[in-house]
Amino acid sequence: AKQLYERAKPHLNIGTMGHVDHGKTTLTAAITKVLADRGLARAVPFERIDRHHEERERGITINIAHVHYETATRHYAHVDMPGHADYIKNMITGAAQIDGAILVVSALDGPMPQTREHIVLARQVGVRHIVVALNKADAVEDAELLDLVELEVRELLSAYGFAGEQAPVVRVSGLRALEGDPYWTARIVDLLDAIDEHVPVPRRILDQPFLMPVEGVLSITGRGTVVTGVVAQGSLRVGDPVEVVGLSEETLSTVATGLETFGQVMDHAEAGDNAAVLLRGVRREQVRRGQVVSAPGSIRPHRRFRARVRVLTADEGGRSRPFHHGYRPQFHFRTTDVVGTVDLGGEDVMALPGDLVDLSVELGKPVALSEGLGFAVREGGLTVGAGTVTTLED
């Protein structure tokens, strides 16, 4: 029989970010190894984290590896994403809903372009707490060089609205810790201590109706269809009725007949949990990433809404040119992206990089929306804007 998940410690979602090859996956593997040696995790080897786990659905590639572990005071789910494009997609769509981030910076190279982009992105999607892992510290002999890189990272964080001066910066070597070196193993423990201390337990929205954006869908032979994701708000017990909403005018009504987290059985799932929900009588093809599983009657699919959008500048990774009335970018909500047409209120109206604009949107497909929901506007690989739904119009 499967183990029961014990909610003995607060659960947090964290993830590694940073420039390619700075050691995110190695560090992730090292954390699980160090904690496994203390009975607080199952060691996950590098190859298992880094394998190309792909799921293609409507052109969206999900590329996230999840591991989980405990410290003395918390339970963590940790996401590691293989490529830069995966970060962009998963962070802005909220698939990687993280409460805090481990910014991995190679001490050999210092901050690089993707380091900056991930910091900007973290800011945009509301990640407030960053702990820096100054990795590959084993390969840098010169202490002054390490100090210099640390200073650069702090300045970069401050430049994008984080408290760079206060952010913990821990000098680590994921590689050497993975090899079992005692000195570097202790530095991983320092890093985990810094995360425990610096990333607060977020206040979870428990007093709202249950809602979980669908991140993945799998069918389990003989049992049915399971959807996975991070619970955004509320809680759900086994046996509760739910609806699957979005990407279609029709809403599917069903019942949650099983709940698990990382292979352990849960009697209830609540905001912040990484959950797998078994849906009664639902076929695999009836549910898709980008929909939400929600309490009956609590949310509806919408095509038209009004929003306030901040148009990003080229420095922030956005466009250098304005966009006009009738512009048709992609709108990223939670775990989905849908094309939509922008109404600026008149043919000759335009929105300039740096502007804060109120506009109307008509989506190509209905999405489960509520007022206050955040989204990203993307076009041709650029994040053009960051917005919030202000009014639902249909």
> Looking at the annotation, which residues are catalytic?
21, 24-25, 84
By CB under 6 A, tell whether 26 contacts ligand GDP. Answer: yes
Query: Is position 83 annotated in a ligand binding site?
Result: yes
Binding test (CB under 6 A) with ligand GDP, winner from 9, 10, 21, 255: 21
DSSP state for residue 4 in the 8-state scheme: B
d(CA 282, CA 259): 15
By CB under 6 A, tell whether 97 contacts ligand GDP. Answer: no
Q: Which residue is nearest to ligand GDP (CB)?
A: 23
d(CA 247, CA 353): 30
Name all contacts of 41-48 with Cβ < 8 Å and 24+ positions apart.
41/67, 41/68, 41/69, 41/70, 46/178
Say if strands 216-220 and 224-230 run parallel, antiparallel, or are unpaired.
Answer: antiparallel
Q: Which residue has the tokens 């009588």?
A: 281
d(CA 253, CA 255): 7
Q: How far is the CB of 393 from ligand GDP (least distance, A)?
A: 43
Q: Which does 135 bind (CB under 5 to 8 A by kind): Mg ion, ligand GDP, none?
A: ligand GDP
Q: How far is the CB of 82 from Mg ion (least distance, A)?
A: 5
Number of residues this chain uses to bind ligand GDP (CB under 6 A): 14
Q: How far is the CB of 145 from ligand GDP (least distance, A)?
A: 14
d(CA 224, CA 87): 31
Instruction: Label residue 372 exposed, middle or buried (CB < 10 Å: 0-12, 13-18, 19+).
Output: exposed
DSSP notation for 104-168 = EEETTT-S-HHHHHHHHHHHHTT---EEEEEE-GGG---HHHHHHHHHHHHHHHHHTTS-TTTS-
CA-to-CA separations, 106 to 110, 192, 264, in angstroms, rounded: 6, 18, 35
Tell me the angle at which helices 24-36 and 182-198 cross, rounded to the nearest 10 degrees.
100
From 80-88, 91-99, 204-212, 305-313, give the range in contact with Mg ion by CB under 5 A: 80-88
Query: Is position 136 annotated in a ligand binding site?
Result: yes
d(CA 284, CA 214): 13
Binding test (CB under 6 A) with ligand GDP, winner from 17, 98, 122, 175: 175
From 18-26, 212-220, 336-344, 346-354, give the range in contact with ligand GDP by CB under 6 A: 18-26
By CB under 6 A, tell whether 85 contacts ligand GDP. Answer: no
For ligand GDP, the closer of residues 50 and 343 by Cβ is 50
By CB under 5 A, tell whether 26 contacts Mg ion. Answer: no
Query: Is position 324 annotated in a ligand binding site?
Result: no
Binding test (CB under 6 A) with ligand GDP, winner from 71, 93, 124, 173: 173
From 81-89, 269-277, 284-292, 307-315, give the range in contact with Mg ion by CB under 5 A: 81-89
Query: Is position 33 annotated in a ligand binding site?
Result: no
Size (the chain), residues: 394
By CB under 5 A, tell whether 25 contacts Mg ion. Answer: yes
Would you give the binding string for ligand GDP spanning residues 126-155, x where CB under 6 A is met?
---------xx-xx----------------
Q: How far is the CB of 64 from ligand GDP (least distance, A)?
A: 13
Q: Which does 310 bind (CB under 5 to 8 A by kind): Mg ion, ligand GDP, none?
A: none
Nearest to 65 by CA among 130, 100, 131, 16: 16
Binding test (CB under 6 A) with ligand GDP, winner from 22, 78, 89, 129: 22
DSSP notation for 316-362 = GTS-SS-EETT---EEEETTEEEEEEEE-SSTT-EE-TT-EEEEEEE
Say if strands 235-237 and 268-270 run parallel, antiparallel, or are unpaired.
Answer: antiparallel
Q: Which does 139 bind (CB under 5 to 8 A by kind): ligand GDP, Mg ion, none?
A: ligand GDP
For ligand GDP, the closer of residues 24 and 303 by Cβ is 24
d(CA 51, CA 67): 13
By CB under 6 A, tell whether 352 contacts ligand GDP. Answer: no
For ligand GDP, the closer of residues 187 and 303 by Cβ is 187
Q: Which residues bind ligand GDP (CB under 6 A)?
A: 20-26, 135-136, 138-139, 173-175
Cite the annotated binding site for Mg(2+) by residue number.
25
Cite the annotated binding site for GTP by residue number.
18-25, 80-84, 135-138
Q: Which residues bind Mg ion (CB under 5 A)?
A: 24-25, 82
